[in-house]
A = this chain, B = another copy of it.
Amino acid sequence: MRAEIIAVGSELLSLGRPETDSLYISSKLKTLGIDVLRKFVVGDREQELTESLSLALKRSDVVTITGGLGPTNDDITREVVARFLGKELREDQKILDDLQRRYERFGLKLTPNNRKQAMVPDGAEVLPNPHGTAPGLFLKVADGLLFLLPGPPRELCPMVERHVLTIIRRYKQVNPVPFRQLKVGGEAESRVDARIESIYKEYRDVETTILSSPGVISLYFMWKGGPDLEAADQVLDELSDRVKERLGKSVYSNREEELAEVVGRLLKGRSLTVATAESCTGGLIGKLLTDVSGSSAYYLGSIVSYSNSVKAELLGVPHELLQLDGAVSEPVARQMAIGVRGKLGSDVGLSVTGIAGPGGGTEKKPVGTIWLGLSIKDRTKARSLLLPGGREAVRLRTSNLALDWLRREIL
């Protein structure tokens, strides 16, 4: 089973806007055993869209087109595809009613441009979009399945999960490729690879991939050994168990989930509340924790002490400490954790202070120097990090390493 992906939007070509929809779609198709053979990114122009579509439909079982379904003049996907397939567009009353209601709810009126979004090519199946105005469309083209999907990820992703995968299963015999996944916190990619290389190299029927983002590493083990699924499960379980054992506490999940979700589940399970005291991360740790809906059950809040006066007055860090040891130091990190725990009345206090750069580094404390503090029960700990990367990477890595430390401490 093969797929090709077409992303439409001049902004993806000219304005440095990275194209991410295809990454999501590929990963979902993969769960059905469908390989993506090729991606096209085209502008809002008929010629390249038509050419790419024609090429894609020639050999692939599934073709997706994302983007270009909006209400503006440069949204051409619907019209171009209809023309290419020789199909008429007709106005769909149900879509129109939905649009009307949606606009009214936000106090807006439907413009003629908006009505474009209610146009549907003959024979297309409409895929509802509860998160936006552009419904998706599905068309069967000879033996191929063609999906027109909205570009914004929050509209696209639920539509793929709910409709696209279901429709593919309806028409095609799918052969999901067995795989295992492990998420690893608190370690560098090269170190993880060095630790597990000798294990995964033993498995010829498994393709191992290591993907890293600041502070978090994903391991994928994909089965490449043919149709014997029983063997696949056995081999994959064995490999992933061995890797898990080797990496120990560093493995925080065996599925796609964020560190903050796992930390939240642990806190909830142990009936612990946490509060954070952030300096160089400026609120990012709180942001990550509250990305998880329902986090109010265990997250009380944060004191973002970007200035030293806030560290002193709200977190009780003595002025002398700040002057003597500097804001980025072990005793300050410790007191920040103790201070925020006391001030907010949480069971756990987690703190971070550091130099995210590009300025502010010194010879003794270069950019990337970080102190983390953790206060829990009757003990308070601190640890230091020296992190590579630019400001953004340092801040994200710091936040993930802080969350991962919290996770290990309450395991």
A: which residues have CB within 8 A of B? Answer: 10-20, 22-23, 26-27, 30, 35-43, 45, 48, 51-52, 55, 71-72, 74, 106, 108, 111, 114, 131, 154, 190, 193-194, 209-211, 218, 220, 222, 276, 278, 280-287, 289-291, 293-296, 299-307, 309-310, 313-314, 343-345, 356-359, 386, 388-393, 395
Contact = CB atoms under 8 A, between A and B. Distances in A.
Contacts of A19: 18-19
A220 B283 contact: no
A48 B296 CA distance: 48
A301 B23 CA distance: 36
Contacts of A209: 10-11, 14-15, 74
B38 A38 contact: no
A119 B55 CA distance: 31
Contact of A306 (B17, B72, B301): B301
A260 to B, nearest CB: 10
A192 to B, nearest CB: 11
Contacts of A295: 282, 306
Contacts of A17: 23, 211
Contacts of A345: 309, 313
Contacts of A23: 16-18
Nearest to A23: B16
Contacts of A220: 15
A71 B190 contact: yes
B72 A210 contact: yes
19 contacts: A13-B36, A15-B26, A15-B211, A18-B19, A37-B42, A37-B45, A38-B43, A39-B40, A106-B386, A108-B190, A154-B390, A282-B286, A283-B287, A286-B306, A291-B391, A291-B392, A293-B391, A309-B345, A313-B345
Contacts of A357: 293
A302 B18 CA distance: 32
Given A284-B287, A390-B131, A37 B13 contact: yes
A43 B4 CA distance: 11
Contacts of A358: 293
Given A48-B37, A193-B72, A344 B154 contact: no
B283 A302 contact: yes
Contact of A51 (B30, B55, B278, B386): B55
Contacts of A45: 37
B37 A26 contact: no
A18 B41 CA distance: 13
B303 A290 contact: no
Contacts of A39: 12-13, 39-42
A307 B300 contact: yes
Contacts of A72: 193, 210
A52 B36 contact: no
Contacts of A114: 190
Contact of A211 (B11, B190, B222, B293): B11
A194 B111 contact: yes
A298 to B, nearest CB: 10
A210 B73 CA distance: 11
A62 to B, nearest CB: 14
A52 B48 CA distance: 12
Contacts of A305: 301
Nearest to A37: B48
B314 A343 contact: yes
Given A39-B42, A299-B306, A304-B304, 16 more contacts: A15-B209, A15-B220, A16-B211, A18-B23, A41-B41, A106-B388, A108-B190, A111-B190, A281-B287, A283-B284, A283-B290, A287-B395, A293-B356, A293-B359, A296-B307, A300-B309
